Structure 1
C-alpha cells in the first residue's frame, strides 16, 4: 500500500507537467521533472528493501529524503501560487506510508470492510476531501442546508479560487461531485435540501478529524493566513451556563453556538426573558480575543444584544444570527470589512438595520426574513458585491437601487404590487447571472392570517427572465400563469403560493423539461386531483412534489408511467385528504412519503394490517405520518 500511495502521488506530480500552461516556463517544468526523477529513484530503492526486511531504518531514511524533496517543492509552489491546480505536498505521501507500512492491509480506521471506501476517500482531490471533511463536522443536531453549506465553505477559505469563476459556483460544483460519488446525500427535510455525509465516509472523516489529521497543517483550508492549530468549536446550548472549558488553548477559527430547541428554548416565556447574561458571559468576553475568528453562528438563541466588541473581529466573514431576540445590531458592525454573509432571519424584535451596514462593501449574502419586516437603509445599491439578497421589503426607491446589484444570484422581494411591474422587470433583467427569484405580495404570516388574500402579484408582462434562473418562487394571487414561466427551460424548482390558479393554467407546467421540485402551497385549490394533472410524458424529471391545500379531498389516479422520477411526495396541511391515488404503487422511484396531518379515515385505509389501500404505499422505504388526533408521529 505504501508503494501504491507514493506512486499515486508521483502520478499526480506528473500530471502537473502535462497540465501546465503558458504561465509556467520550461525551466520550472524541468525543475519539477528533476524532483520527480529523484523521488522515483528514492522509491525504487525503498520499496524492495522494505519488502525483504523490517524496513524501519529504510523508512526513516526514506522520509528524510522526502523532506528534502518537500523543501524543494515548497520553493516551486510559492512561485506558482497563482495557478489553479494546487501542488500536492510530499507530506501527504509520508502520512500514507506511515499508516500502511505495517503491511497489515487495513485502512484508515483499522477495519477491513472500510478499505475500499478509505481508498476512495484518499483518491479524492484535496479540494473535495476538504469539503467532505467539513461537512462531517455537522451532525443530526446541527443540520445544514445546501445554501448555508455553500456560504460557509466560501467563508471558511475551503474553496480554492479559480480565475473568472464565482466562488459559490465552485462550492456548488464540489458538493455536486461528492453527491455524484455517493459520499454526500441530499435529503429533503423541513422542505429544504439538507446535506449529510453518507456512511461509511462519515466514520472515516470523523476518525481523521479525531486524529487531528484533517485539520493539522491547514490541510482542510486552502487559505494559509490562519494558524495551523486553529479550531472549529460547536456548542449545543440547552439552558446551562457556557463555560470557558468549551474552548481550548488554540485560536478559535469558527464558533457555532446553537440553541437546542428540544429543551423548550423557543417558548414564548423564554424569548421574553432572554438568555441570562451569565450563561454566555465567557463568549461575550472572549469575542474581542477571537482575533482569527472567521465564522460566528449564534442560532436559536434568545440573545437580546450583541457587544460593541463584535466590530473588532475584523477577520470575520460569516455572521449568523438566525432566530434571535435582538432589538438592534450595533453600529460597530460596519468595521467588519471582510464580512461576506450576514444572516439575521427570523428575528423576534429586530426591525431596523443600522446605516453602518452600507460599509460592508465585501458583503455577498444579506439574509433578511420573509416573516418579519426589517427596514434597510437607503443606498443599498452601493453593495455591488451582493450575491444574494433575501427578505427585502419593497419601499420607495428600492427597486431603482436594485439596478446596481447586477451580480445578484438570488433575489427575494416582499410587498410587491402591480404598480412595480415595469420598473421591476427592467431591474431584474440586468441581473444576467440570477439563479433564484422570489416575489411575494405579503409576508408568510400575513398569508396565514388572511388565506383568501386577493392582492394580485404583478405578471411582469414585458419581462424576459434571465436564462440563468433555475429557481422561481411566486407568492400571491395570479389571474393566470405568467406566459414567460413556460419559456424557462432551465427551471429546476418552482414554488407557487396562494395563487389559486385553475386546472387549465397548471397544465402547461408539465412541459418544463428540467423541473425537479414543485411546491403548490395553496396554489391549486380543487377538491379532486384527477389523472389529467400528471400525464404520462409530463414532468419527466420531477423529483419532489409538495402539496398544501385546505380543500383537497382526494387524488383519484396516476397513470402507469407518469412521474417516472418522483422520489419525495409530501402532503402538508391537507387536513381533509382521505384518499391517495390509484397508481401510486407504480412509482418505483418514490423514496419518501410524508402526510402531515393524517386524517383518521386515510390512516385506516393505509394501515399495514388490513388497510385496503396499503398496497399503494408498501413499496416506499420511508413513510412519515403525523396524527393530529394523537398529536404525534405514527407508524403505519
Structure 2
C-alpha cells in the first residue's frame, strides 16, 4: 500500500503544480484536472487506513492495486500532455504559418488529453464503487498506529554489536598468524545473515593481525563480478595507476602486476562473499606463494568453493548463536545504550520471539530493530505474527525480514524499496540517496523542514531499525555512507518487483520484463544489451546505470536514452564515459535528477535550460574546466549543482565551473549546493539572495575583481554548512563565517595570519588549508578549536620551520594530514596532546627531521602513513632498529612508501 500512497501523493503534487501554472492547461481541461485532484485526495486518506489491512485481506490488496494503476495512468497522461505542449511551444512561435500549425496541433493534443482524462474518470468511479462491492468501505474502523516511537531518541549504533564469536575470533586469528609458512586459504563458511562478514572484519582490524601482515586488502566479490574490475580493485588497493595505464593492460598483465607487487611481502587478502569456484580460479594466480606466511581469507556460503581453493585447509563453519548469546544480542539491539536490559514484563514475549530466530544474528538484529520502536503492548502482536507466518512454510529468514518490512511506516516503505537500485555490496553515499528520494517524490514535506532534512530522518530511522547499516560517518558525525545486507537487498528487490516499483536488469535482458517498469536499474554489463532493444518502455520514469566497467556510449545508444524515455525523472549515468551531452537532453523536461559521474564533459549544452524541473545536477569530469551556459537561470527548481573531479585525480586536479554571461541565479531560490564555480558577472545582484545555500565552493579570480562582492554577501549565508574558497590571496580581515551550522571550511590561497580562535565557527569539524603561506605556527590557534576532528595542512600552508601541539590541544582531532610543508623542520608534540587521534598522514615534508617524541603517548593512534619522505627519515622508522621506532611501535598500521606504490587501506563495509 505504501507504494500506492506514494504514487498518489506524487500525482497530487503534480496536479497541484499544474493547476497553479494554469497557462499550461487550456480551457476545458482545468475542470477535469481539479476533479482528479479532489478524487485522489479522498483515495489517499483511505489508502493510509488500508496499510495495515491489505496483507491479510486480498480484497483490500486488489483495491489498492487498482488505485495505484489508475494513478499511474493519470500521471502518464499529464506528463505526456505537458511534454507535447512544451515541444510544440519550443518550435511554434516562429512565423505566422508555424503559429497556425502550433494552434492546430495544440487543439488536437488538448482533445486527446481530454478524452484520456475522461476514461480515467470512469475508471476512478468504478474503483470508488468497488469499495462497496468488496465490502471494504469501513476499513478505517479499528485501525490504529502500529509503530509508536517510544524510544525515538535512541542513539545510532556506529558498529554492529559483536556477540558470541569471541572464541571464533581467537581461533581464526591464530590460524592466520601461526601454522605452516605456505600460502594457504582460510575460509569462513555459513549461510547468509550468520555474521561471516562481521566476524571477518573484526579479524581484519585486529591489532595483532594488522601488525603481523605487511600488506592487507579487502575485496568484495558477490555473485556478479567482472574479472578485470576485481583485478583493478586489488591494484587500486596498493598502487596509484592512471586509467590509461590500466586500460593498456590485459587480464594476464593485471594479475602479473599484483603478483609482482606482493613478492617478498607477507600479505593478507580478504575476498568477501565469494560464490563460485570460477571466481577463485580467476584470481588465484595474482597471489604468489613465497612460503612466508601469507594468507587469503574467504567468506562464502558454499563449502565446496572453500575446499576447491585449498583442500588442505578445513573450512571454518560458523555456528548459530547459543540461546544466551541470542538473548544478549537481542537486548543490545532492542534497548540500545541501556544497561538495564529487557524489562521483566517483556522478557517472556521477548524470549519466545528470539527463539523463533534460531540463533541467526541477522534475524535477531532486524527483529530487535523492529521492537526497539514498539510500545510494550505491541510485543505480543509481533510474537503472534511470527508464529502465524510459520504456517505459510516460507524460509525462516524471509519470514522475519518480511515482518520487519511490513512493520515499516508507510512513508518508509518506498524509501526501503528504492535501495534495490544499488548493486550488491555497493556502499552508497547518504546525500546521493536522499537526493534520489527527493527527485522520485518519495518524501513528504513536514513543516518548515527541507525535503533533505526529512530524508535524513528517514535514513536514520531505517538505520535504527537495522534495515540498513551505517558504513562511514562524516567529520561532523553525520551519516556519510551506508550499505545493505544482501538478504535485505533481496527483500527490497522482490517486494519492489511485486509492486511494479523497480526492475533490475543484468546481462540477460528480457524486453518483456521491462515493458511495465516505472524504474529501471541496469547492473553489471547489461547497458549495451539493453540499449540495443527495439522495444520502448514509455512508462519508464527512472534509469539508473551501475555498470561494473566503464562503458563508452555510441551515438545510437545515446539517442536511445535521450529520445527513448521522454518522461524520465531520474537519469543516473554512473561510470558511463560520457564525452558530451547532446542537445537532445533538453527534451527531458520532467527530469529531476541528472548524474554524469564518469564524464569528460567540457561544457553543458544550452538546452540544459529546458530542464526547468531539474533538482539535482552532478557532473564529475576529467577536464579542469566545465563551461556552464547562462540558460542555467531557467532551472528554477535546481537544489544541488555539484562539479567534482574523479576520485583518482581529485587530489591533483580540481574542476571549476565557468558560468557564461550574466544569468540571474537569484531566480534559483531553492539552491542549496553550488560547488565549485568561478566568480564572475553572475554574482552581481544575485549572490546575496542565495540564502538557502548549504554548500558553496567558489574560485575567486587572481585579480580579485569579484572578491569584494563575495565578501559583502558571504555573511548572509546563514544556512551554510560547508564552504570552499579558492583565491590568490585573502585579506587580513577575511570574514570567517561564525554561523552555527558551518562545519567544513576549505581555504586555498595566501593568508596573512589566522584569526583568533574565537572568530572561527564554533562547530567547525573539518578544516583544510592550502597555499596559505602562514609564517606563524597555525597549531597554536587551531589546537583550541574544541570540535575540530579533521585537519589538513597542505601545499605550503605553513612556511615556518617549527610547530608544536601542546598538552590538551586538539581534544577531538581524529585525522591529521601534513602534506608538502617544505619549510617544516621540527614538530613537537607534548604528552596529552591529540588524545583522540586515529590517523596521521605525513606526505612530502622533505625537511622534517624526525617524528615528535610525543607520538608514543597517543595510544588511540591506529594508522600512520608516511609518503614521499627522504630516505633518512624513513630509516628512522624501521622496525626494531630505527631511532624513532619506540615512538610508533604501538601503532597497528604503519605504511611507509612513495607515491609510485601508494598504499590505500580499504576498510570493509559494515555489515551484520
**TM bucket normalised to smaller:** 0.5 to 0.7
The CA distance in 2 between the partners of 1:207 and 1:292, in whole Å, is 28
TM-superposition CA deviations, 1:35-91 (whole Å, max 9, x none): 99xx9xx9xxxxxxxxxxxxxxxxx996569869998699769x99xxx99xxxxxx
- Map of 1:518 onto structure 2: 791
- Is residue 757–residue 781 contact of structure 2 (8 Å, CA) maintained in 1? no
1:402 aligns with 2:687: yes
1:354 aligns with 2:636: no
- Is residue 216–residue 228 contact of structure 1 (8 Å, CA) maintained in 2? no
Gaps of 5+ in 2: 1-41, 65-130, 150-352, 374-407, 504-514, 645-653, 906-912
Tell me which protein shows more helix as a share of its residues.
2
1:385 aligns with 2:655: no
The CA distance in 2 between the partners of 1:614 and 1:135, in whole Å, is 47
- Map of 2:30 onto structure 1: none
1:213 aligns with 2:483: no
- Map of 1:424 onto structure 2: 710
**388-397 or 288-297: which moved more?**
288-297
Given the superposition, is the C-alpha separation of residues 303 and 251 from structure 1 closer, same or farther in structure 2, using an over 3 Å criterion? same
Given the superposition, is the C-alpha separation of residues 74 and 600 from structure 1 closer, same or farther in structure 2, using an over 3 Å criterion? farther
Q: After TM superposition, list the pairs within 5 Å mapping 1:117-128 onto structure 2.
A: 117-120=365-368, 122=370, 126=409
Over the residues paired in the alignment, what is the CA RMSD in angstroms?
A: 4.8
Q: After TM superposition, list the pairs within 5 Å mapping 1:135-174 onto structure 2.
A: 138=422, 144-174=428-458
- Map of 1:633 onto structure 2: 903
Report the TM-score when normalising by structure 2: 0.49
How far is the alpha carbon of 1:159 from its aligned partner? 3.8
Q: After TM superposition, list the pairs within 5 Å mapping 1:33-72 onto structure 2.
A: none
**400-409 or 313-322: which moved more?**
313-322
- Map of 1:18 onto structure 2: none
- Is residue 362–residue 383 contact of structure 1 (8 Å, CA) maintained in 2? yes
- Map of 2:698 onto structure 1: 413
How far is the alpha carbon of 1:597 from its aligned partner? 3.7
How far is the alpha carbon of 1:537 from its aligned partner? 2.0
- Is residue 695–residue 723 contact of structure 2 (8 Å, CA) maintained in 1? yes
Q: Secondary structure at the match of 2:818?
A: strand
1:534 aligns with 2:805: yes
- Map of 1:204 onto structure 2: 487
How far is the alpha carbon of 1:396 from its aligned partner? 3.6
Report the TM-score when normalising by structure 1: 0.67
- Is residue 568–residue 592 contact of structure 1 (8 Å, CA) maintained in 2? yes
Q: After TM superposition, list the pairs within 5 Å mapping 1:411-560 onto structure 2.
A: 411-416=696-701, 420=706, 422-441=708-727, 455-461=728-734, 465-483=738-756, 486-525=759-798, 530=803, 533-551=804-822, 556-560=827-831
TM-superposition CA deviations, 1:297-329 (whole Å, max 9, x none): 335544333333322323321112244233543
**591-600 or 534-543: which moved more?**
591-600
Given the superposition, is the C-alpha separation of residues 213 and 142 from structure 1 closer, same or farther in structure 2, using an over 3 Å criterion? closer
TM-superposition CA deviations, 1:160-194 (whole Å, max 9, x none): 431210122333445566678792121689xx995
Q: Secondary structure at the match of 2:631?
A: helix
> Could you tell me which of 304, 317, 325 is aligned with 2:579?
304
Given the superposition, is the C-alpha separation of residues 373 and 464 from structure 1 closer, same or farther in structure 2, using an over 3 Å criterion? closer
- Map of 1:445 onto structure 2: none
1:277 aligns with 2:562: no
The CA distance in 2 between the partners of 1:73 and 1:488, in whole Å, is 57
How far is the alpha carbon of 1:407 from its aligned partner? 1.2
How far is the alpha carbon of 1:339 from its aligned partner? 0.6
The CA distance in 2 between the partners of 1:313 and 1:74, in whole Å, is 43
Gaps of 5+ in 1: 1-27, 43-59, 86-102, 222-226, 266-274, 442-454
The CA distance in 1 between the partners of 2:893 and 2:852, in whole Å, is 18
The CA distance in 1 between the partners of 2:60 and 2:548, in whole Å, is 47
How far is the alpha carbon of 1:440 from its aligned partner? 0.9
How far is the alpha carbon of 1:429 from its aligned partner? 1.9
The CA distance in 2 between the partners of 1:128 and 1:559, in whole Å, is 50
Q: Secondary structure at the match of 1:562?
A: coil
Higher Cα Rg, which structure: 2
- Is residue 400–residue 427 contact of structure 1 (8 Å, CA) maintained in 2? no
1:113 aligns with 2:361: yes
How far is the alpha carbon of 1:259 from its aligned partner? 7.7
- Is residue 829–residue 853 contact of structure 2 (8 Å, CA) maintained in 1? yes
The CA distance in 1 between the partners of 2:518 and 2:738, in whole Å, is 45
How far is the alpha carbon of 1:375 from its aligned partner? 2.8
**359-368 or 140-149: which moved more?**
140-149
- Map of 1:367 onto structure 2: 642
